[in-house]
Structure 1
Amino acid sequence: MRLPRRLAAAAFALALVAGVASARGQLQTRQTGVDLDAGDRAGRLVLANTGDAPVAAQVRVYAWSQVDGQDVLEPTDAMVASPPIMEIAAGGEQLVRLVRPTAAPVEREQSYRIVVDELPGQGESEAGSAIKVRMRYVLPAFVRAPDPAPAALECRIEPRAMVCRNTGGRAAQLGRSHLLAAGGRRVELSPGLLGYVLAGNTRRFELDAPVMAAAGSATQLEVLLDGQPASLPLARGR
């Protein structure tokens, strides 16, 4: 079963807000992702409550793949959260273990998304005029292969999109990014995280009309690749 793509493509931290906020608990994560070496059995995720009232949370883990250039999340038992549901006291923290049931090292990098949701408190109603804040964090998690080849990106411009393929053995994180167009003009794609291209996969990044107008003459992608500045040549697709 596939989850809706709007969840699969969610950013690291999403705040789901409607109307006037009245939540007193403040759910936060202490990390932006989880990394496990090939033979590791478990990783750690620390949640915190910076508010003045208890907050309940649920942690779920999904297998993360890329199909037809899009992110897809599917239920999995290859990594589980313990505990999956918790209540965090005001000002407190909660350690969540992310456990692999098997100790066998992976042969290829495995990718997951950890979805952390704030749950309604006791006596709270989703109906009525008192609208509550519900926090959702969507974090990447990787189980690394032994001695993986570094990420290696090949990007091309197609109608309405930029398509990047990663031929390396590690996922590639694309951060702040621009297209370098004719005359040295820089066209912004994203001021922050653009997305990931998983190891051995292809990711399609949709471009709006103004960006596509400049993309026709773009020759390079300037991007923070795994946190480091990089300049990648752009090919032309069909």
Structure 2
Amino acid sequence: MRSAWLRDALCSGLLVSLLAAGGSADASGLQVAPTTLNLKASQNADGLWLSNTGDSVVHAQVRVFHWTQDAQGDRLTASRGLVISPPMLQLAVGERQLVRVIRMGAPPNGGSAVEDAYRLAIDELPVDAQGKPGLQFVLHYSLPVFIQPAGATAAPAQLEWSLLRDGDHVMLRVTNHGGSHAQLAGLSYIDTMGRRTDITPGLLGYVLPDATMRWMLKPSAAVFAAGGILEAMVNGEKAAQNLSLVDRSH
């Protein structure tokens, strides 16, 4: 499953590129805040701050992708539904700059409208190290942006959970029947004997409205064999589901 993009900046949304050979490393200072944007239907724009906490100049660019999910996982399509100003910038040491995120079209509307979703790809651009040996780390952030529909507030996430056995492996399947996204984090499983197994201490991912996502879990099927309770943080609130294994063909 293509889940590399499905991480927000605080959890793991950065990629490290090794740009030179040697025995040392230069750490980047590019920081982004906030790590999620939620635009109400009445909002045409919002903003985020890019800052340089390192010891050298940072060059960065921001790109926009429309974000959907299908049977293959996350789909990111280059989009002009949002405009970034400025899309490219240079930050001196200690400098920060506001980047505007502007919605170009109308928000989702209609009686069955649900929240729309985008991803902002924020990339640090490599710079000339001027012959300095070592490794230069450059960062990639992938930030979610959610657009609320016009009219009534989108219905909250309504999740259907399943644990599917595939030999000795287990897949978690989550379907969102609601009108808003669900952010899943901090998963653990407590079996009928009271034994707790931590599955994902941090962010697992998102399930967008009207979408189904699947994740292969690290614990073996034996952990889930007797049935039990799956605990998770859903949009920052604790949730619990009684779940037992079913055959993947179901």
2:39 matched to 1:30? Answer: no
Partner of 2:171: 161
Judged with a 3 Å threshold, the aligned counterparts in structure 2 of structure 1 residues 89 and 100 are, in CA distance, closer, same or farther, namely same
Question: Which one of the candidate residues 119, 141, 146 is aligned to 1:142?
Answer: 146
Confirm or deny that 1:204 pairs with 2:214: yes
SS at match of 1:148: coil
1:1-238 matches, within 5 Å, as: 5-12=2-9, 13-16=13-16, 18=18, 20-23=24-27, 25-68=28-71, 70-106=73-109, 107-121=113-127, 123-124=128-129, 129-145=133-149, 146-159=152-165, 160-208=170-218, 210-234=219-243, 236=246, 238=250
Deviation of the 1:212 alpha carbon = 2.6
State the one-letter code of the partner of 1:130: G
1:94-142 Cα distance to aligned partner (Å, 9 max, x none): 1111111124554321111111111112x348x9953201111111110
- Quick one: distance in 1 between partners of 2:16 and 2:53? 18
* Post-superposition CA distance 1:13-40 (Å, at most 9, x none): 32515463224x5000121211101232
Aligned-partner Cα distance in 2 for 1:212–1:11 = 29
The answer as to whether partners of 2:187 and 2:199 remain within 8 angstroms in 1 is yes
Q: Unpaired runs of 5+ in structure 1? A: none
- Letter aligned with residue 48 of structure 2: L
* Structure 1 pair 68–22 and aligned structure 2 pair: CA distance change class (3 A): same
TM-score, scaled to structure 2: 0.84
Q: CA RMSD in A?
A: 2.3
The DSSP-based 3-state class of the residue aligned with 1:51 is: coil
1:165-224: CA deviations, max 9, x gaps?
11111101111111222312222111011111111111101113x343212333322011
User: How far apart, in 2, do the equivalents of 1:105 and 1:41 lie?
Assistant: 13
State how far apart, in whole Å, the 2-side matches of 1:180 and 1:69 are: 29
Q: TM-score, with normalisation over the residues of structure 1?
A: 0.88
**1:79 Cα shift?**
1.3
Contact 1:16 1:133 in 2 (8 A): yes
Contact 1:39 1:103 in 2 (8 A): no
Relative to 1, partners in 2 of residues 1:173 and 1:61: Cα closer, same or farther, differing over 3 Å? Answer: same
Which residue identity lines up with residue 141 of structure 1 in the other structure? V
Aligned amino acid, residue 14 of structure 2: L
Answer with 179-188 or 192-201: which moved more. Answer: 179-188
Aligned structure 1 segments of 4 or more residues deviating by more than 6 angstroms:
none
- Describe the SS at the equivalent of 2:25: coil
* Count of aligned positions: 231
The answer to whether the 8 Å contact 1:63/1:113 transfers is yes
